[in-house]
Amino acid sequence: MMAETAGDTTDSNRQGRALQSLALVLLCAAAYFPSLRGPFLRLDDQTYISHNLTIASSDHGLWEIWSGQTADYCPLTYTLIWIQWHNSNHSPLVFHIVNLAMHIASTLLLFALLKEWKIALAWFAAAAWAIHPINTATVAWIIHQNNTLSMLLALCGALALTDFLKRRTKISYAAALAFTAASALAKPAAVLMPVVLLLLLWWREGKMTWRRALPFLPVLVVACLPIWIAARLQIKSAALGHTQALTLAGRFIHASKTVAFFVYQTFWPNHLAIFHPQWSDSPAQWTNDVPLVVIALVLAIGLIIAWRGHRRAPIVLMASFILLLAPILGFMDLAFWYISPVADHWVYFALPVLLCGVGWCISKFAAPLRYGACTIALAILFAMTFQRSHLFTDELALWQDNAQKDPNCFAVYNNIAIAAAETGRWDEAESAAAKAVKLAPESWPAYQTYSWILKSRGKANQAIAAYRRLIELEPERRVEFETEIDKLQQGRGSI
């Protein structure tokens, strides 16, 4: 009788987990469904996928991918893209489906991992991460398959390492090493996930010994090797990153502002964009020190609370969030900083940490209030994500939305100009291109778009002036631009 009751309880738990998992799948699929109609976006999708000769090559493509001849060293991601490109008839729909499928799989793995560590309201935290609107920049944007693939593999590694901590089996540890290495080869962003698990172990057990901590070290080393290779490749191609001119103090200010930005966007995601306004990282402005001081105080308070033996959760939560953001905090330079100090898709790996904190707070409410708060929060997140997913199906609308949030970014107007020209809206295209060169008079991409639009509209004199400016900005391409000038002059003469 007792055995039957235990069996019934186990079956009931399994059915409950299955229903919760199904609900996560349906919720996630519905939220991002509009994005499946999206094209290859000009920014990155076309550069790194549809117009990428390495991806197009069926003979030498894989060799170039794994030998480091791509812009970023994410060989596992590029291999997946290469496979899709050669087996999908070049359809963006296939890429979108694969990206969404990996995100859904990561959601299920995150739910399983949180249950293993007995995190309060694990289903809510997983669901909130799955449909948080800031993740639209990852799930609805094809090129960020590097995020979804890396997260999927990192969570597999985390589950394997968690299983090793419980059962101490060699196969679990080997799986943890393999999945962690694969995650770093997909994108070296979740490199500090093993450290976060170590913090969770300390949170759960209240103490840490070398014997318990030692197995984490080889996993961390395996994860760090690809990130070192990626850092070397980035240094060669990303010299425009504005943080290269920063002092150490400036880098800490940049890091603190980045953390504060993503905390704000987690709880109030009303300013989502591809590019965000530039900010100052100068230590000379005292207001720039405020986020750094606040974060330092919060960490200090968390440490004091943990040291006095009250609660370890606050410091584990804060430290884990910062650790998972570490690769993009400003201590290594990235080319993207030339245009925007932050990007929405950078918080993809760290976001679950804050949402676990939210779940823990809500779990303290009485049952009716708890369920109501979870329902309202998920409904709001779903509505925002569903709406933003629509934006990724119309590139011109996406950039126009970005222009409202960052009206001083030349790259936004440059992309508006190209998207408008491709849809035959030439007046709007010329106006946006002119705004781009006004905002960035030293930017050759802006002048190249401007000269192309002027040439296409038959404005020979203005186009010639734009090409001459291009020669000043890109002297190594003088022959190419002089040929365009000759064509325009010949055409003007014949007229």
Task: Check residue 1 and give its pLDDT.
Answer: 31
Residue 60: pLDDT band by 50, 70, 90 thresholds?
Answer: confident
Q: In 343-443, where does DSSP find H-type helix?
A: 351-362, 367-391, 395-405, 410-422, 426-439
pLDDT exceeds 90 at position 233: no
pLDDT given at position 241: 44
CA neighbours closer than 13 Å in the CB half-sphere of residue 293: 6
Q: Which residue has 């943990």 as its token pair?
A: 306
What confidence tier does 67 reach under pLDDT thresholds 50, 70, 90?
confident
Q: Is the pLDDT reported for residue 310 higher than 90?
A: no
Q: Please give the average per-residue pLDDT across 110-124, as a whole number.
A: 96
C-alpha torsion sign, points 445, 449, 455, 459:
negative
242, pLDDT greater than 60 = no
* Band of residue 357 on the pLDDT scale cut at 50, 70, 90: very high
Average pLDDT over residues 85-109: 96
How high is the pLDDT of residue 3?
A: 41
279-285: Cβ within 8 A, 24+ apart: 279/341, 281/243, 281/246, 281/250, 281/251, 281/253, 281/254, 281/257, 281/330, 282/250, 282/253, 283/247, 283/249, 283/250, 283/253
Q: What is the model's pLDDT at position 217?
A: 93
Eight-class DSSP state of 328: G
pLDDT of amino acid 235: 44
- Please check whether residue 393 is in contact with residue 264, taking contact to mean a CB–CB distance below 8 angstroms: no
Instruction: Specify the length of the chain in residues.
Output: 495
Residue 238 pLDDT > 50, yes or no? no
Mean pLDDT of the chain: 90
229 confidence band (pLDDT: 50, 70, 90): confident
| pLDDT (mean) for 93-98 | 98
Whether 243 shows a pLDDT value over 60: the answer reads: no
440 token code pair: 């960035």
Q: What pLDDT score was predicted for residue 232?
A: 65
Structural domain boundaries of the chain?
20-395, 409-494
Angle between helices 92-116 and 2-32 (to 10 degrees): 140
Query: What separation in angstroms does the CA of 77 have from each of 136, 243, 325, 433?
Result: 19, 27, 20, 33
Choose the weakest-confidence range: 135-149, 153-167, 232-246, 300-314: 232-246
What is the rounded distance in angstroms from the CA atom of residue 116 to the CA atom of residue 232?
37
Mean pLDDT, rounded, for 108-137: 97
Mind listing the pLDDT tens digit for each residue in 335-345?
Answer: 788 889 999 99
pLDDT at 434 over 50: yes
The CATH number of the domain covering residues in 409-494: 1.25.40.10
pLDDT at 59: 83
Residue 234 has, within 13 A of its CA and on its CB side, a CA count of 22
Q: CB under 8 Å to 23, separation ≥6 — which residues?
A: 123, 127
Average pLDDT, stretch 227-249? 60
Specify the higher pLDDT residue, 241 or 215: 215
Phi and psi, residue 379, nearest 5°: -65, -40
Tokens matching residue 244: 């290269």
